[in-house]
Structure 1
């Protein structure tokens, strides 16, 4: 059994608002260094509030609160509800399972363009203090669940499969679930939320409470310990900048996928590199080290083979996996690769600047403080050509009040009264 420890909690003074709150758990996975998963917090489910726990270990998991999640109403008792099976094969395990009626669980999902993670945790009874560590019954990992990337059918299949797998591993079934919380990339409009909620209602009994939000909202909360204020920049396979004001206004930029121009993303960087190789091979562009680097990485012998490789499986994550090659070539002095990264920096910075300006996060003089949460593999400082650092420099040049925050699993400093993290 995996476990996690409480790092912070919501000391919300308005207990009525707890019915629309949920915790975000920053989980450490053996396959991924950081996994953000939403976990329900509801007065209906018997929670009051959480308090900071005294012990913080390096392997602890961060817990933070998040409000404004889209919720479906809870009604009938699970004993009187019967839901049809959306996919018989996925849920076949339930026929052979006897689940103790006393153990109720919640599911939290972080769905992205590269991977989707689901955690199954027990429902915590009413108490002033949560157990430390909090038990995690099961964790399941699957592929892309962004409907803009793989299509709605495939995205739903992934989400359903990862939830079923987590329940199966935990020895639970859908009637034991009290809440499902999804933070999913590609949820950019209320119609996206309602579409997913409608689909979830077909799967789960009507007593289950349902929450759906964009994964950028969860990412922002991971850096601010649950306080929805400031701006988050995600730059992984895809990219989005998302911001909130303290009075609840929100705005975002980018996040529309590669066809509409997420050029600062991992996909955008790698796609431009592939294009540069083809142009060089044709004689339409300058020679570049990217040709040798990409061909070696893909174990291909000629740029002509890139066409077949690309269209055999044009998934975003597969293309984005070439970003390290681009960074290595730029560090080695290749001007083509260097320009691709410089362009990416400007694209990412301009997304943040657009959100900050629309929401007025920096104040009239542009110097007001606001948290800037940086999330995603493209922004991680793992080489000399540090994309994240260059993005921060560009943003701070225009908005000196921006405070960059890189969420970390192992080191947190939380203050429950302010929900702030350093």
Structure 2
């Protein structure tokens, strides 16, 4: 049996605004370890915490696989914003000295895309904590539409949907909006007795962005209960998301497959149904987690072709040595 010391390993991280997943596989596509940690979006979390989380996840998957970092052929960090100059510079400053040419940095959208296309060109429409449409064209070009963060963008995202739900609760409390079941759902979620208490609870929270993004499930729940306010929020979010994909397709100038990714698309949600109903394009749902797409990117970036045999092993997603 070949020893771990002679085995070729690939580590990949898929980091967004809510959590980060890491995985390690060998050159045959056998996944030997997976781990989950805190968010690693450098634009919405303290850099020291981001670096600490990345290093911890690397250690954890290496330990699971029985691998040494020196035996890793590629470390792929697919993080939100990692393709931006200032973020890339920080990541390189922290990791380039020890990882050298083995370090691969990219936007987390690429990993999400490759989870659906296995490394082929396409467009990924992401609706998670944030939202973005990201295209990788046949000539290797990159194009982004949206994804400008929760302060000035991220339309149709979990944060946008949750914020809209909270705003609807307060509008109803003021008398400026219609009564909504969201009032009960939000008060129960946070253990409050009055909508006005939402202000101090949300603004005083440790991570208001994540807390509001998490309440997007309440909007989904309200819509399933027949609440008109919640249903309108779902409809508006779907409209924004379809617009992102349509514009991205137009900018790409060619027909590309569209992959739906992110927490809001992971299950058969009303939002996913509404996006598929409105879409004038063919959309696919990945059969594997985004972190597997990150492993594909790591192997592809190291010059390894991901053939059908490797693909089948990656789809098993088994851990252990």
Q: Indicate the TM-score class for this superposition, using the shorter chain for normalisation.
A: 0.7 to 0.9
Q: Which is further off, 386-395 or 338-347?
A: 386-395
The answer to whether the Cα contact below 8 Å between 1:348 and 1:391 also exists between their aligned partners in 2 is yes
After superposition, residues 97-136 of structure 1 pair within 5 angstroms as 102=6, 105-122=9-26, 124=27, 130=28, 134-136=30-32
Distance verdict in 2 for CA 1:190–1:349, change over 3 Å: same
Larger RCO of the pair (alpha carbons < 8 Å, separation 6+): 2
TM-score by length of 1: 0.63
The answer to whether the Cα contact below 8 Å between 2:239 and 2:275 also exists between their aligned partners in 1 is yes
RMSD over aligned Cα, in angstroms?
2.7
Tell me the secondary structure at the aligned position of residue 12 of structure 2.
strand
CA–CA distance in 2 between the matches of 1:102 and 1:404?
41
CA–CA distance in 2 between the matches of 1:166 and 1:250?
30
**Among residues 176, 195, 201, which one is paired with 1:284 in the alignment?**
176
CA–CA distance in 1 between the matches of 2:31 and 2:111?
21
How far the C-alpha of 1:214 sits from its partner, in A, is 0.9
The answer to whether the Cα contact below 8 Å between 1:381 and 1:387 also exists between their aligned partners in 2 is no
Distance verdict in 2 for CA 1:145–1:247, change over 3 Å: same
Distance verdict in 2 for CA 1:134–1:100, change over 3 Å: closer
2:279 matched to 1:395? yes
CA–CA distance in 1 between the matches of 2:250 and 2:201?
41
2:126 matched to 1:234? yes
CA–CA distance in 1 between the matches of 2:16 and 2:22?
12
Counterpart residue number, 2:251: 358
Counterpart residue number, 1:209: 102
Report the structure, 1 or 2, having the larger helix content. Answer: 2
Structure 1: give runs of 5+ residues left out of the alignment.
1-98, 125-129, 363-369, 397-401
Tell me the secondary structure at the aligned position of residue 164 of structure 1.
helix
The answer to whether the Cα contact below 8 Å between 2:77 and 2:105 also exists between their aligned partners in 1 is yes
Structure 2: give runs of 5+ residues left out of the alignment.
290-305, 312-321
**Among residues 360, 367, 371, which one is paired with 2:257 in the alignment?**
371
Aligned residue pair count: 291
Larger-gyration structure (1/2): 1
How far the C-alpha of 1:286 sits from its partner, in A, is 2.3
How far the C-alpha of 1:395 sits from its partner, in A, is 2.7
How far the C-alpha of 1:158 sits from its partner, in A, is 1.6
How far the C-alpha of 1:294 sits from its partner, in A, is 1.2
2:160 matched to 1:268? yes
